[in-house]
Structures are given as structure tokens and as C-alpha cells.
Amino acid sequence: MDTNKLIPLLPDMAILVTVVEQGNFSKAARKLGITPSAVSRQISRLEDALGIKLLARTTRQLALTESGKITFDYCKQMVESAEQAVNASTSATSTVSGLLRVAAPKSLASRVLRPLFTEFLKCYPDIQLHLKVTDRVLDPIHDGVDFLIHINDNPIEALVNVKIGRVEQVLCASPDFLANHALPTHPDDLKFLPCLCLGENMADNRWRFSNENQQATVHVTGSYLLNHSEMRCDAIEQGFGVGGLPDYIAQQGIAAGTLVPLLQDWQLQGNYHGDICLQYVQSKYMPNKNRVFIDFMKQKLLVIESD
């Protein structure tokens, strides 16, 4: 197909991508600001021009045909290339503005990232920050976020990763609890003490520890299971047992004397400990708003980009 015949089809190809991503003509029409009948006409025009059936229509849903799946993949690449072209022009200017969408876990966002986000907005008042606070690890493309922040020693391989910090788990108890129980000197001693587990799965009561030369796994028990770090901190301070806390949660209680760190020669392994990863989709051209956000987070948390 020559260029003169191809160019009029480009808008129809972009509409095909929107229809598939939105799931039906009505949602696509609302997103595009046109009528459902106009969307239907453009899809039909594209099908006629290509000589294939792209969508199998039923009263309840749309589905791509086999030929449609192949065509959609190429149309999707076309739209992504167009977005990169726009980003290239944006990154070439000195303006730092626009919408920035960031996902981050609840506790980390509240205790560590919240003051950084407000300071960032004060530095760049023309940026609109949309923060999605969730403990679910989002998909930047499917869930529509520019940056994904999460705690993980195994970042998502398909995404660019920037290490912006580190979270360790600190095993703690209250002074009152230790006044009535023996101080543990080895992970095995935890078998005889009430412990606060996450309760998220069957393995949460098997605590794994490591130090320079040894590994230890201990089966612990306790009457209070909770996966909310601040509530767990409160329960530990009230003497319900021994529990692990992210270091950014434990620090305040340790400084105030309401928490006592335990087994400091050992590192408690498991969930909610590891590198703080800032991840995003690889792109040849990066908007200035994205670039300044990365630089700001790295500078404020005093870490360097991971390899």
C-alpha cells in the first residue's frame, strides 16, 4: 500500500487500539470524545481497506479475530511510536510540566515518601502528581502509571530499575515484654516467645534469618497476626510479643525507648524488605517531568542508580 493510501488509515488504526484497550465502542467513544456510531464507522472503514475482519462483535463484547490480533499488535506499536515522538519533542524543551502518575506501597508512602512528594511539587509547581497508594504491585502499562515504587530485591526485569533506597526488617520487643521474658540471643530462642506474624500465608510463621556465616529458620507462634506495619508496631509496644518491622517504622520507637531491637547480629528475611525500586518502562525519549522526578528521588534518598 502506497503512502497516499496509508495516511488516511492512521486515525482508524489508532481508534482500533482504543477500542480494544477500552473493551467496547461506547467506552472508546467516551475516551475519544466522539459517538459510538463514528467509532463503528471507522473500524468498518479500516476493515474494508485491509480486506479482513478485525473484530468479532457480539451483543455483550468484542473480540479480536486471528487477523485482528496481528493487525492490533502493529497498530499498538504505531501508537506507542507516536507517543515517543511526542515525548521527544517534549524532552527537547525546558518546560517541566504535565501529569506524573506514581504508584507506591501504603506504609512506605506514608512514612518515607510523603514529605518528598510535597517537596517535589513545591520545586516543580507546574507538575500535577497523581499518587496511587496500594500494596499491590501495578503494571505500569496496564494500570497507567509512569513510575512504580516498591520494595523488592528482585525488580521486574522488563522495566528499567533505579535503586532509591533500602529497607531492612528490624526484630523488636517492648521493654515491659523483655522484663517478663528471657532476652533471645539466637533465632532458635524465638520458639519459646509469643511472636507477631503477618498472617498473609501459611509460611508467615516460619521466620528466616541470616548473618555472615549462618542461616536459621524458626517456627514461631503467637496469638496476634496482622499485616499492617503501624498496627504491628503498636502491638509490639504494648507487649503482645516479638515482631519484625520495617526500619523506617522501628526507628522512632527505638529512639523513644518504646522498642528494643533484638538479635542485631542477624538479619530477618522475608516480605517487605529489600531495595526500594523506582521502575518505569524503557523509552528512548524521556519527558523532562519524568527525568526531574528520577533525579529528585535519587538525590533526596542519597542513593545511586542500580546497574
Q: Given pLDDT bands bounded at 50, 70 and 90, which one contains residue 268?
A: very high
Same domain, 146 and 292: yes
Ranking 121-125, 168-172, 197-201 by mean pLDDT, the lowest is 197-201
Same domain, 153 and 205: no
Rounded to an integer, the average pLDDT of 225-229 is: 89
Query: What is the tally of structural domains in the chain?
Result: 3
Same domain, 102 and 156: yes
Domain boundary among 91, 116, 131: 91
Query: pLDDT tens digits, residue range 134-181?
Result: 988 888 888 889 999 999 888 999 899 999 999 999 999 999 999 999
Over the chain, what is the mean pLDDT?
A: 89
Q: Given pLDDT bands bounded at 50, 70 and 90, which one contains residue 91?
A: low
Residue predicted with more confidence, 204 or 206: 206
Range of the domain at 159: 98-163+276-301
* 14 found inside a domain: yes
Question: Has residue 302 got a pLDDT over 70?
Answer: no
- List the CATH number of the domain containing 210: 3.40.190.290
Question: Has residue 231 got a pLDDT over 90?
Answer: yes
* 149 found inside a domain: yes
pLDDT the model gives residue 307: 35
Same domain, 15 and 44: yes
Question: Has residue 229 got a pLDDT over 60?
Answer: yes
Cell of 252: 522512632
Same domain, 9 and 143: no
pLDDT the model gives residue 252: 92
- List the CATH number of the domain containing 149: 3.40.190.10
* 306 found inside a domain: no
Of all residues in the chain, the percent with pLDDT exceeding 70 is 94
Question: Has residue 196 got a pLDDT over 90?
Answer: yes
Q: Given pLDDT bands bounded at 50, 70 and 90, which one contains residue 62?
A: confident
Of all residues in the chain, the percent with pLDDT exceeding 90 is 65
Question: Has residue 279 got a pLDDT over 50?
Answer: yes
Rounded to an integer, the average pLDDT of 102-114 is: 93
Question: Has residue 87 got a pLDDT over 80?
Answer: no
pLDDT the model gives residue 213: 84
pLDDT the model gives residue 7: 86
Question: Has residue 245 got a pLDDT over 70?
Answer: yes
Q: Given pLDDT bands bounded at 50, 70 and 90, which one contains residue 305?
A: very low
* 307 found inside a domain: no
pTM: predicted TM-score of the whole model, two decimal places? 0.65
Question: Has residue 303 got a pLDDT over 60?
Answer: no
Measured CA to CA, the distance from residue 122 to residue 9 in angstroms comes to 44
Same domain, 140 and 192: no
* 200 found inside a domain: yes
Task: For residue 260, give Cα distances in angstroms to 26, 119, 236, 273.
Answer: 59, 32, 10, 19
Rounded to an integer, the average pLDDT of 45-69 is: 86
Burial of residue 255, with CB atoms counted within 10 A of its CB: 0-12 exposed, 13-18 middle, 19 or more buried: exposed
Same domain, 126 and 64: no
pLDDT the model gives residue 88: 61
Same domain, 232 and 102: no
pLDDT the model gives residue 137: 86
* 106 found inside a domain: yes
* 23 found inside a domain: yes
